[in-house]
Amino acid sequence: MVLEQRGGYGLRGKCKLLAAGVLAGALLLLSACDQDRLANTQPGLSTEQEVLAQWGQPERVWTDAQGQRVLEYSRQPNGAENYMITIGPDGRVVTLQNVLTRENFVRIQPGMHMEEVRRLLGRPASAVPYDLKGEIVYQWRWREGTGGAPFKLFIVTTDRQFIVKRVEQADAPTHSEQRNR
């Protein structure tokens, strides 16, 4: 035991480092896979069957107002994207977009139903009920731009009937801040 303490990492510390390394590797692999999927999914050319073969089963599927199918591929809670792929009546991709953007966030307004928010933004990273306040707080982790841009949170608070009460944005805690909690 003394040797482990002098080495700086006990068994618990080594397990935490290993778990962090595995998680980082998995996120890097997922990111690389997404880059390949994005490059291989082309509006007007790719079919729904090709999307399903590349991306797998979507988180949710619904029909929009124009009768097109929308496939949701969430990367929450660890990723910073939620992809929506719209399939036209001809079975081909119409659009592929990351919906976690400022343009979509400004569309979220008090009075909206949470189902509308979900269709615009996809699955949140978290949903935490606060029973005494009668509220549910939803968070999406996102990033503006690419590379080293800091992660942010888009936060939507609803009442018990899932009606939006307020929206806000915040900087996401860093991994070191999360460890110190």
CB-based burial label for 15 (10 Å; 0-12, 13-18, 19+): exposed
* Pairwise CA distance, residues 102 & 117, whole Å: 14
**What is the model's pLDDT at position 145?**
78
* Residue 97 CB neighbours (<10 A): 14
**What is the model's pLDDT at position 26?**
41
Q: For residue 92, give every residue at least 6 positions away whose Cβ sits within 8 Å of its Cβ, in sequence order, or none.
A: 43, 44, 45, 46, 47, 48
**What is the model's pLDDT at position 4?**
37
Between helix 48-55 and helix 11-40 the angle, nearest 10°, is 160
pLDDT in tens for each of the 181 residues of the chain? Answer: 343 334 444 545 444 444 444 444 444 444 457 888 999 999 999 999 999 999 999 999 999 989 999 999 999 998 999 999 999 999 999 999 999 999 999 999 999 999 999 999 999 999 999 999 999 999 999 998 776 789 999 999 999 999 999 999 999 987 555 555 4
Vertex 33: Cα angle to 28 and 34 (nearest 5): 95
* Pairwise CA distance, residues 118 & 34, whole Å: 21
